[in-house]
Amino acid sequence: KSLKFWMTNLVEVKNLKKNYSSKEAVKNISFNIKENEILGLLGPNGSGKTTTIGMLLGLLKPTAGEIKIDNMDFEKNRIEILKKINFISPYIELPKKLTVKQNLTVYGKLYNIENLKERIQYLTDQLRLGELLDRVTGELSSGQKNRASLAKALINNPKVLFLDEPTASLDPEIGDFVRSFLESYKKRNKISILLASHNMSEVSRLCKSVLMMKNGLIIDQGTPEFLINKHGRKNLEEVFLKLSRSGNESS
Ligand code: ADP
Ligand code: MG
């Protein structure tokens, strides 16, 4: 392995597996996320995306394999690594009874953020949260909650952000706001993002590189253009349909 490659991989996953009793949810996957890259994670329902992200967040213990983040082994450097990452997951919501501002303050304190007031102000401006700050989180619409979750996900200025279907429940306009926000945030901040999504135009727009999962395996990967050419299709949506419908040649 050359020094150059070692330097540019912020997340390294090797031979990762997860079994839920007898169910092999993630079978044996290896991939890297480069510094300052948005990597798309595609795959039909049940292909193992959320399980993979759960292991990368330290919420699920891998059955086998290795995860390194910022060149540190996850198992041995959990606390150090958790400071550098953050996430949006549909399964973990912000505490409902707190206001948005209280939520951001609590999370900011958990991460021990310096200049927390300024950080909250910055994210409030960027995500247009001004009118939401004093509202109770549980009473927000899903689009408003999503923006509050994004602010929480960025409160610690993470080096790596894990997004598990962040625009799944949003109407097209708010979905577009989130995509534009991610694009512009990424331009101004060094951040690596793993983006699990079923929205192919979102993935084509945001991701230089994608992983295609099926039945717990990575069955293909590359840039959207590479995959489109390789499979002789017009767009990523058609590649997705071809790969999800075909028999699983690679297993
Ligand atoms: P995806 O996010 O790609 O839809 P998941 O990672 O959620 O896929 O699920 C992968 C497989 O693991 C599915 O077959 C799912 O039913 C199974 N699975 C997920 N979570 C659990 C669990 N807690 N217990 C047992 N099986 C699970
Ligand atoms: Mg999922």
Mutate to test the pocket of ligand 1, among 16, 20, 60, 212 (most ligand atoms within 8 A of CB): 20
How far, in Å, CA of 132 to CA of 40, rounded?
A: 30
Q: What's residue 92's pLDDT?
A: 85
Q: What's residue 250's pLDDT?
A: 46
Q: Which atom of ligand 1 is least distant from the CA of 216? A: 10
> Angle at the Cα of 54 (from 245 to 8), degrees rounded to 5?
90
pTM exceeds 0.95 for this model = no
Tell me which H or E stretch contains 12. Answer: strand 9-20
Residues with CB under 5 A from ligand 2 (ion): 49-50
Q: What's residue 4's pLDDT?
A: 54
Q: Which atom of ligand 1 is least distant from the CA of 21? A: 25
How far, in Å, CA of 81 to CA of 77, rounded?
A: 6
Ligand 1 mean position, distance from CA 77 (Å): 26
- Nearest residue (by CA) to ligand 1, atom 15, is 46
Ligand 1 mean position, distance from CA 216 (Å): 9
* Strand stretches in 64-173, DSSP E: 64-69, 72-73, 85-88, 160-164
Q: What's residue 2's pLDDT?
A: 53
Is ligand 1 within 6 A of the CB of residue 47? yes
Q: What's residue 169's pLDDT?
A: 84
How far, in Å, CA of 134 to CA of 12, rounded?
A: 40
Ligand 2 mean position, distance from CA 222 (Å): 21
Q: How do the pLDDT tens digits run along the chain, 251 residues long?
A: 455 555 589 999 999 999 999 999 999 999 999 999 999 999 999 999 999 999 999 999 999 999 999 999 999 999 999 999 999 987 788 999 999 999 999 999 999 999 999 999 999 999 999 999 999 999 999 999 999 999 999 999 999 999 999 998 899 999 999 999 999 999 999 999 999 999 999 999 999 999 999 999 999 999 999 999 999 999 999 999 999 988 744 44
Q: What's residue 251's pLDDT?
A: 41
Is ligand 1 within 6 A of the CB of residue 25? yes
Dihedral (Cα; 55, 57, 60, 62), 10-degree rounding: 30
